Amino acid sequence: MWLMCASGSVVADIKGGQAAILKGDFAKAFIEFKEDADKGIPHAQAAVGVMLHLGQGVKRDLKKALSWYRKAGSHGYEAGLANVGIMYYKGAGIRNDDVQAYAWLDVASYIRGGREHNAKARVASFLSPQQLKEARKLAQEYRRKYARK
Using one digit for the tens of pLDDT, what is the confidence trace for 88-108? 999 999 999 999 999 999 999
Which sequence spans correspond to the domains of the chain?
13-75, 78-149
Average pLDDT over residues 74-95: 95
Q: What percent of the chain has pLDDT over 70?
A: 90
The answer to whether the beta carbons of residues 141 and 135 sit under 8 Å apart is no
Please name the amino acid found at residue 88: Y
Q: Which residues have a Cβ under 8 Å from the Cβ of 35 and sit 6 or more positions away?
A: 44
pLDDT reported for residue 3: 52
pLDDT tier at 33, thresholds 50, 70, 90? very high
Q: Which residues have C-beta within 8 Å of that of residue 85, sequence separation ≥ 6?
A: 100, 101, 102, 103, 104, 105, 106, 108, 116, 119, 120, 123
131: Cβ contacts below 8 Å, ≥ 6 apart: 98, 99
The yes-or-no verdict on residue 46 having pLDDT over 80 is yes
The architecture CATH gives domain 13-75: Alpha Horseshoe (1.25)
**Measured distance CA(71)–CA(137) in Å, rounded:** 22
Mean pLDDT of the chain: 89
Question: Phi/psi at 95 (nearest 5 deg)?
Answer: -65, 135
Cα-flanking dihedrals φ and ψ of residue 44, to 5°? -70, -40
In the DSSP assignment, the letter for residue 113 is: T
Rounded to an integer, the average pLDDT of 24-53 is: 95
Q: Which residue has the higher pLDDT, 16 or 62?
A: 62
- pLDDT of 5 > 60? The answer is no
- pLDDT higher than 80, residue 34: yes
Q: What is the pTM of this model?
A: 0.85
pLDDT grade for 32, boundaries at 50, 70 and 90 = very high
Give the C-alpha separation, 63 to 76, whole Å: 20
